[in-house]
Amino acid sequence: EDFFRQGLSLAGKRVLITAGPTHEKIDPVRFLGNNSSGKMGFALAEEAVKRGAKVTLVAGPNHLEIPSGVEYISITSAQDLFEACKANFDQDAVIMAAAVADYTPAHVSAVKMKKQEGDLSIPMKRTTDILKWMGENKKGQKLIGFALETNDELDNARLKLKKKKLDVIVLNSLQDKGAGFKGDTNKITILDANNNLQEFELKSKSDVASDILNKLEELL
């Protein structure tokens, strides 16, 4: 197998890819989640394997087929994802495509919550910003993050790139029909730490994955 991988553009490179949503538990039968399908991260994993990389794919709840050739780690919560990322941080690059919850219930009820008269509010606490942790603790790993923005897109993405000490941020535009969380297509802009900007057309997620990995290959 290693013989055949020689000559491929990511041969010998180790890449950690995260994908999908996180589910934050409220009680034994309920959680808070988000609309991420995991498709973008899975497409990246598949394309990276094709290019010869050794891929660890850490993914939240999804309905996708595990790409062959990846080491697959299934997680549920943001805290699980953080632990899996820390344990697998020794990589050449990390691509953080997971949609990580920013808040999690401060307490998980051990029993199913019963409804009461009146409204309900659930106290929430912050989760760890995993990419920020990576930016602060990296030892040469190239870091690629995603930013999903609805307004002031470029400014917000640049701010995240800087705050999290990333090499690249992939801006996902929600303004375009056919782009974003659920579908099979995506429209991205790639920004790097040297203020280079590449805007791409609406494409299939596997073609978007190729554009992102081309950028990664420039960095490695």
**Which residues belong to the annotated binding site for CTP?**
102, 112, 146, 160, 164
Residues designated as active site: 34
72 to 91: interface string for ligand CTP, x by CB under 6 A: ------x-------------
d(CA 166, CA 168): 5
For residue 131, state whether it binds ligand CTP (rule: CB under 6 A): yes
From candidates 71, 90, 102, 199, binder to Ca ion by CB under 5 A:
102
Size of the site for ligand CTP (CB under 6 A): 15
In contact, 193 and 47? CB cutoff 8 Å: no
Q: What is the sign, positive or negative, of the torsion defined by CA atoms of 81, 86, 91, 94?
A: positive
For residue 44, state whether it binds ligand CTP (rule: CB under 6 A): no
For residue 145, state whether it binds ligand CTP (rule: CB under 6 A): yes
Q: Kindly give the pairing relationship between strand 168-173 and strand 142-149.
A: parallel
From candidates 147, 179, 191, 216, binder to ligand CTP by CB under 6 A:
147
User: Cβ 115 to ligand CTP, closest distance in Å?
Assistant: 30
Calculated CA dihedral for residues 77, 78, 82, 83, nearest 10 degrees: -20
Work out what residue 96 binds among ligand CTP, Ca ion, none; the CB cut-off runs from 5 to 8 Å by kind: ligand CTP
d(CA 17, CA 95): 5
For residue 130, state whether it binds ligand CTP (rule: CB under 6 A): yes
φ, ψ for residue 218, nearest 5 deg: -60, -35
Q: Which residue is nearest to Ca ion, using beta carbons? A: 102
Which residues pair with residue 71 across a beta bridge?
56
Give residues in contact with Ca ion (CB under 5 A). Answer: 102
